Amino acid sequence: MALVNENYLKLPGSYLFAEIARRVNAFQKDNAEAKIIRLGIGDVTRPLPEAVVSNLHKAVDEMTDAETFRGYGPEQGYQFLIEKIIQCDYAARGIKLDTDEVFVSDGSKSDTGNIQEIFGAENIIAVTDPVYPVYVDTNVMAGRSGELNDQGKWSKIVYIPCTAENNFIPSLPSEKVDIVYLCFPNNPTGTTITKEELKKWVDYAKANKVIILYDAAYEAYIQEDDVAHSIYEIEGAKEVAIEFRSFSKNAGFTGTRCAFTVVPKEVAAYTSTGAEVQLNKLWNRRQTTKFNGVPYIIQQGAAAVYSEEGQKQIKALISYYMTNAKIIREGVEALGLQVFGGVNAPYIWLKTPAGLDSWAFFDKLLSEANVVGTPGVGFGPSGQGYFRLTAFGSKENTEEAVQRLKNRLQL
Domains (ranges, CATH) in the chain? 8-47+309-408 (3.90.1150.10), 53-307 (3.40.640.10)
The residues, any chain, with a CB within 8 Å of residue 313's CB and separated by 6 or more, are 49, 50, 51, 52
Q: What confidence score (pLDDT) does residue 18 get?
A: 81
For the chain, give the number of residues: 411
Q: With 80 as the cut, is the pLDDT of residue 15 above it?
A: no
- The Cα–Cα gap between 144 and 240 comes to 21
Helix axes 50-63, 308-334, angle to 10 degrees: 130
Q: With 90 as the cut, is the pLDDT of residue 248 above it?
A: yes
> What residues are paired with 157 via a beta bridge?
125
CB of 154 closer than 8 Å to CB of 148: yes
Q: Which residues of 203-216 are buried (b: 16+ CB within 10 A; e: fewer)?
A: bbbeeeebbbbbbb
The residue-averaged pLDDT of 33-45 equals 93
The residues, any chain, with a CB within 8 Å of residue 358's CB and separated by 6 or more, are 352, 375, 376, 377, 378, 383, 384, 385, 386, 387
219 residue type, one letter? E
- The Cα–Cα gap between 396 and 18 comes to 26
121-157 pLDDT, tens digit each: 999 999 999 999 999 999 999 999 999 999 999 999 9
Average pLDDT, the chain: 97
203-245 pLDDT, tens digit each: 999 999 999 999 999 999 999 999 999 999 999 999 999 999 9
* C-alpha distances out from residue 34 to 6, 92, 339, Å: 41, 49, 27
Q: Which residues of 124-141 are buried (b: 16+ CB within 10 A; e: fewer)?
A: bbbbbbbbbbbbbbbbbb
Q: With 80 as the cut, is the pLDDT of residue 159 above it?
A: yes
- The Cα–Cα gap between 197 and 41 comes to 29
Q: What confidence score (pLDDT) does residue 265 get?
A: 98
- The Cα–Cα gap between 90 and 233 comes to 9
The residue-averaged pLDDT of 385-397 equals 97
CB of 215 closer than 8 Å to CB of 242: no
Q: What confidence score (pLDDT) does residue 16 get?
A: 80
Asked which of 8-12, 174-178, 331-335 is least confident by mean pLDDT, the reply is 8-12
337-382 pLDDT, tens digit each: 999 999 999 999 999 999 999 999 999 999 999 999 999 999 999 9
Helix (H, G, I), strand (E, B) or coil at 371: strand
- The Cα–Cα gap between 325 and 322 comes to 5
Q: With 90 as the cut, is the pLDDT of residue 384 above it?
A: yes
Q: What confidence score (pLDDT) does residue 411 get?
A: 83
What whole-number percentage of the chain has pLDDT above 90? 96
CB of 188 closer than 8 Å to CB of 379: yes
**Residue 387 belongs to what H/E stretch?**
strand 386-390
78-122 pLDDT, tens digit each: 999 999 999 999 999 999 999 999 999 999 999 999 999 999 999
∠ Cα 170 383 6 (to 5°): 95
Q: What confidence score (pLDDT) does residue 19 get?
A: 85
The residues, any chain, with a CB within 8 Å of residue 301's CB and separated by 6 or more, are 48, 52, 53, 55, 56, 59, 253, 256, 258
